[in-house]
Amino acid sequence: IRKGVPEVVYAGAKTPEQVAKICAALVEPGRRVIVSAASGEHEAALRAALPDTPVRRSGRALVAGSGEPEPTGARIGAICAGTSDIPVLEEAVAVAREMGAETRSFYDVGVAGLHRLEQPLQELRSFDPDCLIVAAGMEGALPTVVSALVDVPVIGLPTSAGYGLGGDGSAAILGMLQTCSPGLAVVNVDNGVGAGATAALIANRATRRARCGPS
Amino acid sequence: IRKGVPEVVYAGAKTPEQVAKICAALVEPGRRVIVSAASGEHEAALRAALPDTPVRRSGRALVAGSGEPEPTGARIGAICAGTSDIPVLEEAVAVAREMGAETRSFYDVGVAGLHRLEQPLQELRSFDPDCLIVAAGMEGALPTVVSALVDVPVIGLPTSAGYGLGGDGSAAILGMLQTCSPGLAVVNVDNGVGAGATAALIANRATRRARCGPS
Amino acid sequence: IRKGVPEVVYAGAKTPEQVAKICAALVEPGRRVIVSAASGEHEAALRAALPDTPVRRSGRALVAGSGEPEPTGARIGAICAGTSDIPVLEEAVAVAREMGAETRSFYDVGVAGLHRLEQPLQELRSFDPDCLIVAAGMEGALPTVVSALVDVPVIGLPTSAGYGLGGDGSAAILGMLQTCSPGLAVVNVDNGVGAGATAALIANRATRRARCGPS
Amino acid sequence: IRKGVPEVVYAGAKTPEQVAKICAALVEPGRRVIVSAASGEHEAALRAALPDTPVRRSGRALVAGSGEPEPTGARIGAICAGTSDIPVLEEAVAVAREMGAETRSFYDVGVAGLHRLEQPLQELRSFDPDCLIVAAGMEGALPTVVSALVDVPVIGLPTSAGYGLGGDGSAAILGMLQTCSPGLAVVNVDNGVGAGATAALIANRATRRARCGPS
Amino acid sequence: IRKGVPEVVYAGAKTPEQVAKICAALVEPGRRVIVSAASGEHEAALRAALPDTPVRRSGRALVAGSGEPEPTGARIGAICAGTSDIPVLEEAVAVAREMGAETRSFYDVGVAGLHRLEQPLQELRSFDPDCLIVAAGMEGALPTVVSALVDVPVIGLPTSAGYGLGGDGSAAILGMLQTCSPGLAVVNVDNGVGAGATAALIANRATRRARCGPS
Amino acid sequence: IRKGVPEVVYAGAKTPEQVAKICAALVEPGRRVIVSAASGEHEAALRAALPDTPVRRSGRALVAGSGEPEPTGARIGAICAGTSDIPVLEEAVAVAREMGAETRSFYDVGVAGLHRLEQPLQELRSFDPDCLIVAAGMEGALPTVVSALVDVPVIGLPTSAGYGLGGDGSAAILGMLQTCSPGLAVVNVDNGVGAGATAALIANRATRRARCGPS
Amino acid sequence: IRKGVPEVVYAGAKTPEQVAKICAALVEPGRRVIVSAASGEHEAALRAALPDTPVRRSGRALVAGSGEPEPTGARIGAICAGTSDIPVLEEAVAVAREMGAETRSFYDVGVAGLHRLEQPLQELRSFDPDCLIVAAGMEGALPTVVSALVDVPVIGLPTSAGYGLGGDGSAAILGMLQTCSPGLAVVNVDNGVGAGATAALIANRATRRARCGPS
Amino acid sequence: IRKGVPEVVYAGAKTPEQVAKICAALVEPGRRVIVSAASGEHEAALRAALPDTPVRRSGRALVAGSGEPEPTGARIGAICAGTSDIPVLEEAVAVAREMGAETRSFYDVGVAGLHRLEQPLQELRSFDPDCLIVAAGMEGALPTVVSALVDVPVIGLPTSAGYGLGGDGSAAILGMLQTCSPGLAVVNVDNGVGAGATAALIANRATRRARCGPS
Ligand SMILES: Nc1ncnc2c1ncn2[C@@H]1O[C@H](COP(=O)(O)O)[C@@H](O)[C@H]1O
Ligand SMILES: Nc1ncnc2c1ncn2[C@@H]1O[C@H](COP(=O)(O)O)[C@@H](O)[C@H]1O
Ligand SMILES: Nc1ncnc2c1ncn2[C@@H]1O[C@H](COP(=O)(O)O)[C@@H](O)[C@H]1O
Ligand SMILES: Nc1ncnc2c1ncn2[C@@H]1O[C@H](COP(=O)(O)O)[C@@H](O)[C@H]1O
Ligand SMILES: [Mg+2]
Ligand SMILES: [Mg+2]
Ligand SMILES: [Mg+2]
Ligand SMILES: [Mg+2]
Ligand SMILES: [Mg+2]
Ligand SMILES: [Mg+2]
Ligand SMILES: [Mg+2]
Ligand SMILES: [Mg+2]
C-alpha cells in the first residue's frame, strides 16, 4: 500500500558514517529522505558524502534530496511551549510537509501563562487545520488544555525536556495519557516522526474525502 | 466549543448509587449519557433509578437515554484479537456512534495467526473507513501490523488483558508506543472513551471537509 | 514545640475496632481527634464506641470531639476539579480548620474547561487567602495552571483518581513535581492531612507576623 | 499577575551559546536573570557574551545583571547535610534572595549525628524565619527530622546525591513524600528554583500581611 | 549444618487448611514451628487441627508446639515507631527467641519526636544487646537514626505501613539502603523472619565466641 | 559436565587492556575464546596483544583463536528486522557456530512489512532448522509473528534498539514475554551469548538423539 | 502449520460461566482442551456444563476431553523447589504431555539446600530428557544452578511466590534473565503454558530428527 | 559514641580536586581516611596533594594515611564470584580491616559451578569467621547459596555487574532480598563501605563479648 510516509532514517543509534551511507543508497532525483534525531556530526557527514544533494534542517531532522512534495490540501497546526520542544516539533512538521500537508507553527504557548494561548488559537481558527500536533515536556499538560479548546483531533507529542523524577519525558507522556479531554492521542517521547506521520494521515484522509465529495 | 463528545460518567471509582444519581441529573429527553467501565451492579442501579429511560450495554459501557445520534457520514473500523478486548473496544464504538459515526467491528484477528487478518481487511477496504481503532492486550502488536497494511490513521487501544510481568497493559501500551509503523497514535490502557472520541473527531473532520468541498 | 497540628489517626491500615479504641483513649473534653482515610465502617465503630462524642465527617476524614478550634485569622483556599477529588480535599480542609484557619472550597474547576476557573479565582481574590490547596487526579495539571494565576504559595495535592498507566496518582504527582510554574510544592498522593497541615502552617505564620506587626 | 519570581533560564539542556544568547536578550539595567543548573562552561560563555554585566555564582546557579532586589522583610532558613547538597541549596537561596528574602544557611546538619542539629536550630530560632528549606540526598530524612522540631512550614528539597538503588534522588524524594511529620511539602529532585520560589512566596505573604496589619 | 533457624511455614500464600496440614506434619513433642504472616483464619484452622498443641501468637506470627528454646545468652533489642510496625517486629522477635535469644522490645520511638528515643536507648544500653532490629515504615529513617547512636550492628526491617507513592514499603526500604550511617543492613519489606534469624545468628555467634573465650 | 559452551569474556564492563590480558591467558592452540560486547578499542587491544592469533568479528562479538569448531549437524535459523539488531544477532550466531551448529541469517524481516517474511520463511523451510533465534527491538513483535508460522522452538532475543518510553529494550522484552504464541522463550536484552548458547543446546540435543537413533 | 500445541483457554480473566461455554464449544470426541489458571469455581462450572466429558486437574490447569495424546518419544524433566511452585509447574507438564511428551517431576529441590539436588539429578540423568523445565519463585536461582549441571536446554519458569519488594515474581524473572549460566531461556511469570509448549517443541524436534535418522 | 567506623570520603560525585582537599583536611599522623569509589584520577590527585602520606589501593577504595589499625581479634570472610565484583568486595575489606578485623578473601566462587565452592568453604571453616560478606552481581544468588551452608550471619553485597533488564544491580539486590535462606541481610548496590562496616561491627561485638567472658 502507498501511505505517503517518506523514507525515514533514525540517526539516534547510528554513526555519522552509517547515516551518510544509508542516505546515499536511498536518495534519488526528485525524492527525499528524512534523517531523524540528526546531530551536527550527522549533518556534516551527510553533506560531505552527498555534496550535490540539497540538505535542509528542520528541528532535529534533516530533509535530504531534491524536489518538493506534492501538496494535498491537508492543513496541520503545530504548537509547543518552550524552546526545548521546538526541535522535536519541527521534526514532526518536516514529516507532515513531506506527506503534502501545509503546516503552521506556534512556539511560545504555555500552561503557565494561558493568555499566551489566545493569539495562536485565533490564528489557528482562521487557518482551519484538520488536526493539531501539540508538543510539551515537563508536566505535558498543554495538549490537554488545547484539546479542550478545539474541535479537531490532537496528537500529543511528549518531549524529554524535564528534570528530576519523571524528567525524561515520562511525566509528560503519563500526563497526556491521563488526559481529561477526550480527543487526544499520543505518540512516544520525542517521536516527532510518528506525530507528523499520524497527523498527515489524518489530514490527508480529510482532503481525500473532500476531493471525492460527500458520500 | 462544540466537539460532539457525549457526556461520559466514569463508573470505575464510583458506587452504583453515585452513578445512578449523576445520570439522573444528566439525562434529558433525546440526549444520551455514556457510563464507562460499568459493572453489572452499576447497570442494575441505573435501571432501577431510571425505569423509563432506555439503557443499552455496549461492551463495558452503558448508553442511557432516548433518541439516536445524528449520522455524520463518518466511518470507523474497529478491530481486536481476543474476547478479553471486546468490552473495551465496544466502549470505544459506543462513543464513536454517539458522535455520529458508522462503525464496523471485527473480533478474531490476531498476530499469532496473520491469515485471519485477510478477510477483515478486505471487508474494511470496501467499507472505506476514515480511521481504525485497533485494540490489543498481551504484547499489543496488532495495531502495528494493521497500521502497516492500511492508509488511514490508526488509534491503538491497549487493554489490560495479559499475564505476569507487563500483564496489566503496560507491555501492550509500550509496544504500541514503540511501533515501527508511523501512523499509529495511542490512548491509555482500557481507555475506550478516548479511543472512540479521537477516532470520531478524525472521521467527523473528514466528512466536514467533504461536505464543504475541496478547498 | 507546639505547632498546632491536631492529633491524627490514620485509619487506612487499621480495623474499625482499632480506630475506635485509639480514639477513645485520645479524646478529651474540648479537644478533637482527626481520623483520616475513614470508611463508613470506621465511622460506625467510632460512633458506637463514643456515643456522647460529636463526630463530624469532612470528606474521607472524621473529626471527633467537642468544642471548636481557636480562629487564628489564617485564610486558605481549596480547589479541585472532579467529584473524585472532593473527599481528599475536604480531609485537608478539616485539618486546616482544626489548626484555626478559615477555608473556602471550590469543586468544579478543571483544566479541560478553563473558563470555569474565572469565577472561583475572582471569589478567591476577594477572600484574599494566604495559601491555596489544589487537588487533582488524572494528569494533575490544575495546580500548575492555578499557581500561574495567583501570587500566593500553592500546595499541590495529587489524588489517585485516574485510569490505566499512571492512574494510581503517579501521573498526577509527577506532573505536579514537573511543574513549569515555580511556587508550587507537593505532598504525597491522597495525603490530605499533609496538605492541610502545611497550608495551615503557612497561613498561621502569616497571621503571627501580622499580629506582631512588621519587623 | 506579579509574583516576583525572577526570570529563570534552565541551562540543564542548553548549550553555553544558547544560554548566553537568551540571557543577552533578557538582561536589562537594574534587573537580573537567574541561570539554573549552570556549568562552568555556561558561566564562561555568559561572561564572555556579557562582559559588562555582573555575574555572581550561587551554588549551581548564576545571577546575571546589575542592581539588588528590594528587601521585603521575609526571612528564610536553609539547611543541608552534606557538601553535595550545597550547590542545589544555594540555587534555592539565590532565587529566594532575588525575591527579596533575607536568608541564613547551615551546611553540616545530618540525621546520622543529631547533636549537630542543636546549634543551627538555636541560631534559627533567634533568626525567626518564616519558612525553612531543607535539602537532603541519600535517604532524605533530614527535612522530616527538622520539621518535627520547628513550628514553621518546611520545603523539602531532595537532591540526587546517593548511590545504588534509589540513588538518583528517588529514595530521597519518596522519603520526604512519606514523611511522618505533617507540615512538610516537597519539590522535585534538585529543583532549587522551585524550592526557593515557594519559600519566598510563603515568606513574602507573611510580610505582606504584617505590613497590612492583622485583619 | 545446624544454624538453629526454626522451621518456618510462610502462610502468606497458603489457605488455612494447607497451613494446618503442613504444621500437623512438622510438629513433634518438644519442638516448635513458626507460622509467619498468619491471619486469624490461619490461627483458627491450626488450633482446630492441633487441639493439644500449644499455639502462641507473636505479632503476625504463630509459634506452635510445646517446650521452650534453649537460652544461648544472646541479647537482641527490638525497636519500632508505630503500631503498624509491631506485628512485623514481633514476628522477628518470635524467630529470635526460638533461636535462644533474650529480647527486649520498644514500640513508640519515632523520628518525628526524637526525644522519645532517649529513654529506650538508655534502657538498651544497660541491657547491652549484641544487635538491634529496628522496624520502620513510611520514610524508614528510624534505623539510620538509631544506628548512628549505638555501637552494635543494626538490622533494618522495613514495613509496608505507608501511603501514596512508595507507601507499599518501597520508600522505607530504599531509605534504609541509602542510609548515611554505615553499620546498617536490611531485609525485605515485612520480612520479620529474615530479620529475626539474622539478628539471632549475629548474637549467637557473639555468645559462642564468649563461651570459647577470646582467641 | 561438558556442554560445549565456549569460553566467553564479557567486554561490556572491562577496559581494552583487561580484555586483552584475560584472552591472552585463555587462548591456546586450536581453541577459541569469544569476546562479547566488544568495541573497536577492545578489538584493537586484542589484536595488538595477540598478533599471531586469528581474530574474527561477528557482530558485536570477536572470535579469537585458531582452528574451527567440530560440526555437529545442528541447524539454526537467525532472523532480525533492522540494521540495529544485526550486531546482537551475529553475536548469537558466533556462539552457536562455536558450538558446532550450521547457521543461516536473514536481516530485513519486519512486522511493519509482513510480505518481507515470505521469502526468508520459504528458504528456512528448506534449510529445516532445529530452532530459530529471532532478534527484535522496538515493540519486539517479530518473534511472536514468526513463532506462529513455524513448528520449531523460537528463542526471542530482544535488543535495545528503540526510543522514548521502553526504548532501552524493556518494551521489546515485555512484548516477547507477553507473547500470544506458545513456543517462544526469551533471553535478556542484547544477550546474544545466551540466545546462541540456548539455541545450540536445543539443536545439538536434536542431532544427538538423531545420531543415537530413535529410542 | 501444525505445531501440536493444544487449544488453551486462559481462565485468569474469565468467569466460570465464560470458561464453561468456551470449552463446550471447543471439546470434541478424542480431543482435549486445556484450561489454564483455573480456580475451583472454574472447575465446578466446567464439570457441571460437561457432565460426560472427563476433566482432569494438573496443577492450576484442567485437561478436559476424552482420549490420550499420541506419544512422540519426547522426554521432559520438570523441577521446582517449593509447594507454591507445583501448580504452575504441573500446568506446564499438562501442556507438554498433551503434545506427546513423557514427563518426570521433582518437587523438593532448592538452592538453600543444594544436597537435595543430587538425587533428582541422578534420576534425571538416567531418564535422559531432551529438555528441562525449572520453576522457581523468590530469588529464582534454581534454574541457573540446574542449568550449570546439565547439558540440555533449560526453560526457566518464574513463579509469583515471593514477598516484599520483587515478590510478585519480578525478582525471580530478573534473576533468570541475568543468569550466569548460558543455556537458559525464560517465559513470563506463572506462564506454565508457555514453558510446557516450548519444552515440548524442543523435545519433539529432537525425536523428529531421531526418527528421520542423522542428516 | 565510638563505633570505630573510619572516616569515609565518597568520591563518586566529587572531582579529584575536591577529594584531595577534603582528605588533606582530614588526614593526621597515625590516622587513616578511606576514599570510596575512587577512580585513577582521584588517586593521582590525592598522591599529588599529599606526597608524604602513604596511599594504598584496595579495590575501588583508597586508604590514605600512616599507621595500622589496632587488631580486635574479629575475623571476616569475603567471597565473590566474578572479577567485576572484586573492586567492590575489596572496598568492603578495606573498611573492615580499618575497624580491626582480620579478613580472608575468595574470588572465583560462582553459582554456575558449585563445585568451586567446596575448597573456599573448607578453608573458611578452619578460619572460623564471625561473619561473611558475599558479593555478587547478575542474579545475585551466591549469598543465598553460601548462607545455606554456613552458621554465621552473611552480609549480601550486590554489585552492578550485569546486563540488560535488571543489569544495574537491581536484579542482584532483589534476589538477595527474596532469599529463601534466613540469616542474610543486605546493603545497597556497590555499597562496599556499608558491607564492611556492618560486618566489622558484627565481628567486633563478638570479640568484645569474648573478651568480657560469657555473661
Ligand atoms: N509556560 C509553559 N507552559 C507549559 N510548559 C512549558 C512552559 N514553559 C516551558 N514549558 C515546558 O518546559 C520545557 C522547557 O522549556 P524551555 O526552557 O523553553 O526549553 C518544555 O518542554 C516546555 O514544554
Ligand atoms: N476538567 C477537568 N480538568 C482537570 N481535571 C479534571 C477535570 N475533570 C475531572 N478531572 C479530574 O478527573 C478525576 C475524576 O474526576 P470525576 O469524574 O469528576 O470524579 C479527578 O481527579 C479530577 O481532578
Ligand atoms: N549525617 C548526615 N545525615 C543525613 N544525610 C547526610 C549526612 N551526611 C551526608 N548526608 C547526605 O549524603 C549526601 C552526600 O553528602 P556529602 O558526601 O557530604 O556530599 C548528601 O545528600 C547529604 O544530604
Ligand atoms: N530451598 C529452596 N531453594 C530455592 N527456592 C526455594 C526453596 N524453598 C522454597 N523456595 C521457593 O520459595 C517459594 C515458596 O516455597 P514454598 O513455601 O515451599 O511454597 C517457591 O517459589 C520456591 O521456589
Ligand atoms: Mg507542558
Ligand atoms: Mg496482541
Ligand atoms: Mg487534573
Ligand atoms: Mg539525608
Ligand atoms: Mg519511620
Ligand atoms: Mg520489532
Ligand atoms: Mg528459587
Ligand atoms: Mg551471581
Q: Which of C180, C181, C184 to mutate to test the pocket of ligand 1 (most atoms within 8 A of CB)?
A: C180
Q: What is the DSSP string of chain E?
A: ----PPEEEE-TTS-HHHHHHHHHHH--TT--EEEES--HHHHHHHHHH-TTS-EEEETTEEEESSS-PPP-S-EEEEEESSGGGHHHHHHHHHHHHHTT-EEEEE----TTSGGGGHHHHHHHHHH--SEEEEEE-TT--HHHHHHTT-SS-EEEEE-S---STTTTTHHHHHHHHT-SSSSEEE--TT-HHHHHHHHHHHHHHHHHHHHH---
Contact B179 F112 (CB under 8 A): yes
pLDDT at D1 over 80: no
Q: H93-112: per-residue pLDDT in tens?
A: 999 999 999 999 999 887 77
CA gap A198, B199 in Å, rounded = 12
CB of residue G190 inside a 6 A radius of ligand 4: no
What is the mean pLDDT of the segment spanning H131-142? Answer: 96
What nine digits make up the cell of D165?
538503588
Q: Is the pLDDT of residue E128 over 60?
A: yes
CB contact at 8 A, A145 and A117: yes
Q: How distant, in Å, are the alpha carbons of C4, G43, G98, G197 from that of G34?
A: 63, 12, 9, 12
Query: Using an 8 Å Cβ cutoff, are B163 and F172 in contact?
Result: no
Residue G109 CA to chain centroid, in angstroms? 16
- Cβ B10 under 6 angstroms from ligand 2: yes
pLDDT at res. C110: 81
- Let me know: does G140 contact H175? Beta carbons within 8 Å: yes
Q: What is the mean pLDDT of residues C141-150?
A: 95
Mutation for E interface: H186, H193, H204, most E CBs within 10 A = H186
Residue to mutate (ligand 2; options C80, C85, C111; most atoms within 8 A of CB): C85
pLDDT at F214: 55
pLDDT at position A167: 96
Tell me: the pLDDT tens digits for B53-102?
999 999 999 999 999 999 999 999 999 988 899 999 999 999 999 999 99
Give the pLDDT of residue A1: 64
Q: Which of G112, G162, G176 sits opposite H148 (nearest CB)?
A: G112
Distance CA C139, CA C111 (A): 10
CB B59, CB B93: distance < 8 Å: yes
Q: What is the mean pLDDT of residues F173-180?
A: 96
- What residues contact residue B155 under an 8 Å CB cut-off, 6+ apart? A185, B131, B132, B133, B134, B184, B185, B186, B187, B195, B198, B199, B202
Asked whether the beta carbons of residue H180 and residue G138 sit closer than 8 angstroms, the reply is yes
Give mean pLDDT, residues G183-191. Answer: 98
pLDDT at H65 over 80: yes
Question: Is 60 exceeded by the pLDDT of residue G214?
Answer: no
What would the pLDDT profile of G11-38 be if each residue is shown by its tens digit?
A: 988 999 999 999 999 999 999 999 999 9
3 state DSSP class of H107: coil
* Per-domain boundaries in chain E: 7-64, 75-210
State which residue of chain E sits closest to C22, comparing Cα positions: E83
- Report chain D's mean pLDDT, rounded to a whole number: 94
Given strand H33-36, what is the order of strands in its sheet? H7-10, H33-36, H61-64, H55-58
Average pLDDT on F91-108 reads: 97
Count of beta carbons in the 10 Å neighbourhood of residue G66: 13
Chains touching A by CB (3 or more pairs below 8 Å):
B, C, D, F
The beta strand positions in chain F, using DSSP E, are 7-10, 33-36, 55-58, 61-64, 75-80, 102-106, 131-136, 154-158, 184-186
Task: Give tens-digit pLDDT for C150-176.
Answer: 999 999 999 999 999 999 999 999 999
In angstroms, the separation between the Cα of residue H137 and the nearest Cα of chain G is 9
| Nearest-angstrom CA–CA distance, H65 and H46 | 11
Pocket perturbation via mutation, ligand 4, pick of G85, G86, G89, G144 by most ligand atoms within 8 A of CB: G85
Q: Which of C112, C138, C178 sits opposite A138 (nearest CB)?
A: C178
pLDDT class of E215 with cuts at 50, 70, 90: low
Contacts for E115 with CB less than 8 Å, ≥ 6 apart:
none
> How many whole angstroms separate alpha carbon A35 and alpha carbon A19?
8
> Does the pLDDT value for residue C139 go beyond 90?
yes
Q: What is the mean pLDDT of residues D149-160?
A: 97
Atom of ligand 3 nearest to the CA of D110: 3
F–E contact (≥3 CB pairs within 8 Å)?
A: no
| Residue in C with minimal Cα distance to A139 | C175
Query: Are residues D132 and D74 in contact, defined by beta-carbon separation less than 8 angstroms?
Result: no
Q: What is residue E35's predicted lDDT score, i.e. its pLDDT?
A: 98
Chains touching chain G through at least 3 C-beta pairs below 8 angstroms are: B, E, F, H
Q: How far apart are CA D17 and CA D23, in angstroms?
A: 10
CA atoms of F173 and A145, how far apart (whole Å): 35
From the centroid of its chain, how far is CA E155?
Answer: 9
The number of the ligand 1 atom at minimal distance from the alpha carbon of A82 is 18
Fill in the DSSP letter of residue A149.
Answer: T
Residues of chain B with pLDDT under 50: none
Q: What is the 3-state secondary structure (H, E, C) of chain C?
A: CCCCCCEEEECCCCCHHHHHHHHHHHCCCCCCEEEECCCHHHHHHHHHHCCCCCEEEECCEEEECCCCCCCCCCEEEEEECCHHHHHHHHHHHHHHHHCCCEEEEECCCECCEHHHHHHHHHHHHHHCCCEEEEEECCCCCHHHHHHCCCCCCEEEEECCCCCCCCCCCHHHHHHHHCCCCCCEEECCCCCHHHHHHHHHHHHHHHHHHHHHCCC
Burial class (CB in 10 A: 0-12, 13-18, 19+), G57: middle
Residue B180 near residue F139, CB atoms below 8 Å: yes
**Is residue E212 pLDDT above 90, yes or no?**
no
**D7 strand-pairing partners:** D33
* Residues on chain G bordering chain B, Cβ-to-Cβ distance under 8 angstroms: 10, 12-14, 18, 22, 37, 158, 160, 169-170, 173, 188-191
φ/ψ (deg, to 5) at F192? -60, -35
- Residue G188 is nearest to which of B84, B161, B164, comparing CB atoms? B164
Mean pLDDT for C11-25 is 93
pLDDT of residue C215: 54
Report which of B80, B109, B104 is spatially closest to residue B190, judged by C-alpha positions.
Answer: B80
* Nearest-5° Cα angle at B185, B181 to B186: 120
Rounded Cα distance, B33 and E86, in Å: 50
Question: What pLDDT score does G213 carry?
Answer: 63
DSSP codes joined into one string, chain D: ----PPEEEE-TTS-HHHHHHHHHHH--TT--EEEES--HHHHHHHHHH-TTS-EEEETTEEEESSS-PPP-S-EEEEEESSGGGHHHHHHHHHHHHHTT-EEEEE----TTSGGGGHHHHHHHHHH--SEEEEEE-TT--HHHHHHTT-SS-EEEEE-S---STTTTTHHHHHHHHT-SSSSEEE--TT-HHHHHHHHHHHHHHHHHHHHH---
For residue D87, the Cα-to-chain-centroid distance in whole angstroms is 9
Ligand 3 atom with least separation from CA of H13: 19
How distant, in Å, are the alpha carbons of D118, D174, E12, E85, H23 from that of E170? 31, 9, 19, 15, 35
pLDDT of residue B82: 85
CA A182, CA C138: separation in Å to the nearest integer?
A: 12
Arithmetic mean of pLDDT over chain E: 94
Give the model confidence (pLDDT) of F44-94 as tens digits: 999 999 999 999 999 999 999 999 999 999 999 999 988 899 999 999 999
| pLDDT tens profile F119-137 | 999 999 999 999 999 999 9
**Ligand 4 pocket test target in G79, G83, G84, G159 with most atoms within 8 Å of CB:** G84
* pLDDT 10s digits, C47-85: 999 999 999 999 999 999 999 999 999 999 999 988 899
- C85 touches ligand 2 (CB under 6 Å): yes
All residues at 6 or more sequence positions from A42 whose CB lies less than 8 Å from its CB, including other chains: A11, A14, A16, A19, A20, A35, A62
pLDDT above 90 covers a percentage of chain F that reads 86
Residue G104's pLDDT band, with cuts at 50, 70 and 90, is very high
Q: What is the pLDDT of residue G30?
A: 92
Report which of D1, F109, D147, H119 is spatially closest to residue C201, judged by C-alpha positions. Answer: D147
C-alpha cell at E55: 499455639
Question: How does pLDDT run across E24-81, given as a tens digit for each residue?
Answer: 999 999 999 999 999 999 999 999 999 999 999 999 999 999 999 999 999 999 999 8
Band of the pLDDT at E1, cuts 50, 70, 90? low
Residue among F83, F84, F165 whose CB faces A188 most closely: F165
Calculate mean pLDDT across residues C133-149. 96
* G79: three-class secondary structure by DSSP: strand
Q: Spell out which residues line ligand 3, taking CB within 6 angstroms.
A: D 80-85, 110-113, 136-138, 142, 159, 161; E 180; H 10
Q: What is the mean pLDDT of residues H62-79?
A: 97
SS3 A40: helix
Phi, psi (deg, nearest 5) at residue D185: -120, 160
Set of chain H residues whose Cβ sits within 8 Å of the Cβ of D163: 10, 12, 37, 188-191
Q: What per-residue confidence (pLDDT) applies to G83? A: 86
Please state, in angstroms and rounded to a whole number, the distance separating the CA atoms of residues A184 and E151.
59
CATH number of D75-210: 3.40.50.1970
Residues H35-44 have pLDDT tens digits of 999 999 999 9
Give the residue-averaged pLDDT of E103-127.
90
Q: Is the pLDDT of residue C105 over 70?
A: yes
Q: Which chain E residue lies closest to H156 (C-alpha atoms)?
A: E185
> Residues near B122 by Cβ (< 8 Å), separated by ≥ 6?
none
Give the pLDDT mean for E183-209. 97
Which triple of cell numbers denotes residue B153?
490513521
| Average pLDDT of the residues in C112-134 | 93
Cα separation of H108 and H115, whole Å? 11
Rounded-to-integer distance, Cα F179 and Cα F181, Å: 5
Atom of ligand 2 nearest to the CA of C142: 4
Helix or strand (DSSP H, E) at B167: none
**How close is the Cα of E85 to the center of ligand 7, in Å?**
34
Q: How far is CA E203 from the centre of its chain?
A: 13
Taken in order D79, D83, D88, D92, is the CA torsion positive or negative? positive
Mean pLDDT of chain H: 94
In this predicted model, what pLDDT tens digit does every residue of H148-198 receive, in sequence order?
999 999 999 999 999 999 999 999 999 999 999 999 999 999 999 999 999
- The per-residue pLDDT for B109 is 86
DSSP H or E stretch at residue H35: strand H33-36
Which atom from ligand 4 is nearest to the alpha carbon of G141?
4
pLDDT in tens, A53-110: 999 999 999 999 999 999 999 999 999 988 899 999 999 999 999 999 999 999 988 8
**Residue spans of chain A under pLDDT 70:** 1, 213-215
Our CA-based measurement puts residue E177 at a distance from the nearest CA of chain D, in whole angstroms, of: 8
Nearest CA to ligand 3 atom 4: D110
In terms of Cβ atoms closer than 10 Å to its own Cβ (0-12, 13-18, 19+), residue G170 is buried
